[in-house]
Structure 1
Amino acid sequence: MPLIQLVAEKIKEHAMVTAGETIVVGVSGGADSVSLLHILYMLKDELKIKLVVAHLNHRFRGAEADADAKFVSELAERWHLEAYVESRDVPAYKNTRGVSAQVAAREVRYNFLSEVATKTGAARVALGHHADDQTETILLHFIRGTGTRGLRGMLPVRDNFFIRPLLTIRRKEIESYCKQHGLAYRHDASNDKSKYLRNRLRLELVPLLESQYNPNLIQAINRLGEIIREEDEYLDQQAGKAYRQAKLASGGGTVRLDRDRLLAIPLALRNRVIRMAWFEICGDSDDLEYKHINKVLEIIKGGGGYRQIALPRGVTCVKNYNLVEFTINHAKEAIPFYQYLINIPGITPIPEVGMSVGAQLLAREDVPELSGAEPWEAFLDYDSLSMPLVVRRRLNGDRFMPLGLDGTIKLKKFFIDNKIPVNIRNYIPLVVSGADIVWVAGQRPGDKWKVTDETITVLRLYINDYGKNSCIS
């Protein structure tokens, strides 16, 4: 079966795109991302999608990285695609965060891709990871010591936002596709350096295992990842039920759990419940290691009334008799860029700021007098909004048309006029439709979407736990 058809089937199997959506394609210039862009370009009319190219120069490789950026810019121009080619000082970010070069590059790159998606109103970001990358990822997790979450590898669709259409395709198939279609691509010389563990896996361990133990190693490990993903999803569902039963309250960067209910949860799920509490206040599972979970379990199972331990990222875990409380000190944790699709109807958690946005659809006649609306809620004309709606952190250059104002102003000016302190502005979520801000949470909705006499359906947005987070109360 032709490669383009295989990819098209995977896109449909995992519902990676929907007709009418804009898709940001991360293009490094390598064979994988160039082939991904070409395949999506060939499928764009069939899938009814628009493509936007995004490339980030991480400033690690000097002139070589500059040449990569030039290559991607020219490629996008030849194919008449909108492109965002930018440069970020990742070495400085690495030193500030105190993390490895690879971790710093990943964090900055994913933030950049999310920002491009926000600017362009894109619903998804497509990444070029393939089956060989998946094998390296699973082996890397195995060598470092991991549970089932690490052995499942990368997901075909993550957070209903990042998609990986090439995840089951071999690297050699991708290179053959490029040759077949006359696609030039760049080679990153840093991938040939054995000082990085991932590179040593690719250059030394995987060839050894293939030649001496299993010539079908890539397929075998990818199959293992698929099996574990299915089982991991089931365990997560069970852990989610247990977490909801054990949770007493959450909001404002704090999660409170009932100790007795927590201890009644089977150990295999208890570890996951701890991770879920961490995820709710931190927004990801990074930095929480097996040893940290064991420390938490020790104080939970131990005697005495009050016990406290410090965890990474400024998180504190306190056991006070039958109460277990996780709290994050936001003063120690900068707010990263985030972006989440809003569940309508439903609740959309924003772990980065310790709150969530609720959405409810109402008939116009069921809406109370709008002049009495509280600052923590907004009523909008649902049919005038362009979907999907997302909630995100502010960006430089954001503009806003506040209710009652004829014309847009800079969001920064809006904050200044409303005396919002500089140190809390990143904590205020923005609900966005395409490039338009429709609600500055806890402050004011946008004028273009106000409810009128012609409104049929009203979208009510509201902040959960308003008042528990001092940043917007």
Structure 2
Amino acid sequence: MRSKVESYMKENGLIEHGDTVVVGVSGGADSMALLALLVDIQKDFALKVVAAHLNHQLRPGDCDRDEALVENYCRKNRIPFENKRVNIKERANESNQSVELTGRAQRYDFYEEVCRKWKGSKIATAHHEDDQIETIMMRIIKGTGVKGLMGISNKRDRRIIRPLLACRKSEIVDYCEKNEIPYREDHTNYETEFLRNKIRLNIIPEIEKINPSFGEELLHLSEIAGEYEAFVQEQVQGVLQEIKGKEKIAFESLRKEKPIVRKMVLLSKLQESYGNLLISYSVFAKINQLLEQEGNTTWSLDIGEGIVLQRVYDFVKWSKREEKVRTKYFEYEWIEGKEQVFPRIGWFIRTDVEENTKTIKSFAKSNEKYLDYDKIIRIEEKMIIRQRKPGDRIQLVGRKSHKKAKDYFIDRKIPKEDRDRTPVFIVGETIAFIPHIGVSEKFKVDQNTKRILKIRYKDCRRV
């Protein structure tokens, strides 16, 4: 098995001369075999091998015995050993995630910690071909695409490597027995409440009664899927090079592509943001349906794993789902000649009174607006900055009638989450100015204006 794994690592560029490899070791046959094998070849590759064991405290007594076995083996063979104890059930309850997902996240976080401590260049985990078969089966059952059929990659993020993906479980156990490598059995591997165990213990044996070579055929399918994926990715790269945004894509640039290209582009961008994310066929079908809709300029879709895909007018965006909290009502005094910063709504505002000149309007910037100050003070009422209210209306400069502020927000394609934060400038009972919308006809600067009120403003959250 040593020569097989060594060749596999060389062919796939998993190990480089002089690497420091952190090996995730649970105490089971797979990880103990991987640790022993890497120690066996470390002189040939000038490797530094470090064992990392996470005691997840899920099996009282057994977990401590697992830890002791790994620690004793490392001490006997002079292998650097790092361990950590984490109550996975408690962490799972705190994060509202499954025990499996929490355990996986905690393990990889710990491996990264050890990597930083030892200046490691690789993290090796003991996934093997049987794990690959089970993973592909799980994805088929849950619903997946071609990329999901590829299964577990032998290398991820240039750091995580899986050298035993060249071996079957039976080979690994034989290697341990022949080389007298100690290991422990995890009895939870035989509990069918977990889907992976149910597939391994119940479903695959039944399928193998029909086709004894089922496992090998599924591995071949994984290879074919990988070849197909590589070809499609080449076609998609041209589209991706035109996309500059990290968390958004122009709606029309996505819509014009064929469904398979849309899918691959979106998946690539989502994985860029959130790692090895998988999305089911049914979710992509819904996305395509939304992209084809006419006239619907805003929509939102939960695509799983806490991620929301949205169309916001001209863009498709994605973000982690957060509890939406409506901006509480705000009302501030409008103070002349002073910079006002409002952290709660994310706006900066400054108003100054200046003498009017014929050229002053020609120098106006995009974040500046001018109002007739004399018209404002003639009203002799309080000036405030407040949140929009239902029914707010404004007659813009040059318009003959009033129109709802809400309709202007929609026309200007201002996202819903930004509308409640946008300050509305009020003189008495009249709306004088709304950023993104414009100035009221009542307070416009004209040829008779002697003094102007210059308003400078900035929405700091939209920069």
1:51 positional shift: 0.0
Distance 1:314 1:172, change over 3 A: closer
Describe the SS at the equivalent of 1:62: coil
1:316 positional shift: 4.3
Describe the SS at the equivalent of 2:10: helix
Q: CA RMSD in A?
A: 2.4
Aligned to 2:450: none
Aligned to 1:86: 84
Aligned to 2:245: 249
Aligned to 2:288: 297
Q: State the Cα deviation string for residues 72-92 of structure 1 (Å, max 9, x = none).
A: 111111110111111112112
Of residues 144, 148, 151, the one that matches 1:150 is 148
Of residues 208, 212, 220, the one that matches 1:223 is 220
Aligned to 1:61: 59
- Whichever residue aligns with residue 249 of structure 1, its letter is G
Q: State the Cα deviation string for residues 219-259 of structure 1 (Å, max 9, x = none).
A: 222122122112212223322332332x2423xxxx22122
Q: Which deviates more, 267-276 or 119-128?
A: 267-276
Describe the SS at the equivalent of 1:195: coil
- Whichever residue aligns with residue 125 of structure 2, its letter is L
Aligned to 1:307: 298
Structure 1, unpaired ranges of 5+: 333-467
Matched-pair contact (CA < 8 Å) for 2:297–2:314: no
Tell me, in whole angstroms, the C-alpha distance in 1 between the residues paired with 2:187 and 2:95. 25
1:323 aligns with 2:315: yes
Aligned pairs (5 A) from 1:163-178: 163-178=161-176
1:200 positional shift: 1.5
Aligned to 1:279: 271
Describe the SS at the equivalent of 1:128: coil
Of residues 211, 226, 233, the one that matches 1:214 is 211
Tell me, in whole angstroms, the C-alpha distance in 2 between the residues paired with 1:296 and 1:21. 43
Distance 1:155 1:57, change over 3 A: same
Matched-pair contact (CA < 8 Å) for 2:144–2:280: no
1:93 positional shift: 1.8
Q: Which deviates more, 66-75 or 218-227?
A: 218-227
Aligned to 1:239: 236
Describe the SS at the equivalent of 1:149: helix
What is the TM-score with the length of structure 1 in the denominator? 0.65
Of residues 195, 198, 221, the one that matches 1:197 is 195
Tell me, in whole angstroms, the C-alpha distance in 1 between the residues paired with 2:22 and 2:460. 33
Aligned to 2:111: 113
Tell me, in whole angstroms, the C-alpha distance in 2 between the residues paired with 1:165 and 1:64. 27
Identity of aligned residues (%): 29
What is the TM-score with the length of structure 2 in the denominator? 0.66
Aligned to 2:96: 98
Tell me, in whole angstroms, the C-alpha distance in 2 between the residues paired with 1:256 and 1:198. 35
Matched-pair contact (CA < 8 Å) for 2:307–2:318: yes
Tell me, in whole angstroms, the C-alpha distance in 1 between the residues paired with 2:95 and 2:264. 27
Distance 1:314 1:215, change over 3 A: closer
Of residues 35, 38, 54, the one that matches 1:37 is 35
Tell me, in whole angstroms, the C-alpha distance in 2 between the residues paired with 1:274 and 1:148. 15
1:104 positional shift: 1.4
Tell me, in whole angstroms, the C-alpha distance in 1 between the residues paired with 2:144 and 2:202. 22
- Whichever residue aligns with residue 120 of structure 2, its letter is A
1:141 positional shift: 1.1
The structure with the larger Rg is: 2
1:322 positional shift: 3.2
Matched-pair contact (CA < 8 Å) for 2:311–2:317: yes
Distance 1:154 1:316, change over 3 A: closer
1:99 positional shift: 2.1
1:289 positional shift: 4.2
Q: State the Cα deviation string for residues 390-420 of structure 1 (Å, max 9, x = none).
A: xxxxxxxxxxxxxxxxxxxxxxxxxxxxxxx
Tell me, in whole angstroms, the C-alpha distance in 2 between the residues paired with 1:328 and 1:141. 23
Matched-pair contact (CA < 8 Å) for 2:29–2:184: yes
1:171 positional shift: 1.0
Q: State the Cα deviation string for residues 129-184 of structure 1 (Å, max 9, x = none).
A: 11111111111111222111111111111121111111121111111111111111
Matched-pair contact (CA < 8 Å) for 1:26–1:33: yes
Tell me, in whole angstroms, the C-alpha distance in 1 between the residues paired with 2:102 and 2:79. 28
Q: How many pairs align?
A: 327
Tell me, in whole angstroms, the C-alpha distance in 2 between the residues paired with 1:101 and 1:236. 34
Matched-pair contact (CA < 8 Å) for 1:36–1:128: yes
Describe the SS at the equivalent of 1:51: strand
- Whichever residue aligns with residue 245 of structure 2, its letter is A
Q: Which deviates more, 222-231 or 52-61?
A: 222-231
Describe the SS at the equivalent of 2:13: coil
- Whichever residue aligns with residue 291 of structure 2, its letter is I
1:260 aligns with 2:256: no
Tell me, in whole angstroms, the C-alpha distance in 2 between the residues paired with 1:99 and 1:289. 20
- Whichever residue aligns with residue 267 of structure 1, its letter is P
Tell me, in whole angstroms, the C-alpha distance in 2 between the residues paired with 1:289 and 1:231. 18
Q: State the Cα deviation string for residues 345-376 of structure 1 (Å, max 9, x = none).
A: xxxxxxxxxxxxxxxxxxxxxxxxxxxxxxxx
Describe the SS at the equivalent of 1:249: coil
Matched-pair contact (CA < 8 Å) for 2:143–2:280: no
- Whichever residue aligns with residue 140 of structure 1, its letter is M
Q: Which deviates more, 135-144 or 299-308?
A: 299-308
- Whichever residue aligns with residue 219 of structure 2, its letter is N
Matched-pair contact (CA < 8 Å) for 1:305–1:320: no
Aligned to 1:10: 8
Matched-pair contact (CA < 8 Å) for 1:22–1:124: yes
1:331 positional shift: 8.8
Describe the SS at the equivalent of 1:125: strand
Distance 1:327 1:187, change over 3 A: closer
Describe the SS at the equivalent of 2:245: strand
Distance 1:319 1:331, change over 3 A: closer
Of residues 158, 161, 180, the one that matches 1:160 is 158
1:299 positional shift: 3.1
Tell me, in whole angstroms, the C-alpha distance in 2 between the residues paired with 1:89 and 1:130. 27
Aligned pairs (5 A) from 1:344-363: none
Describe the SS at the equivalent of 1:154: coil
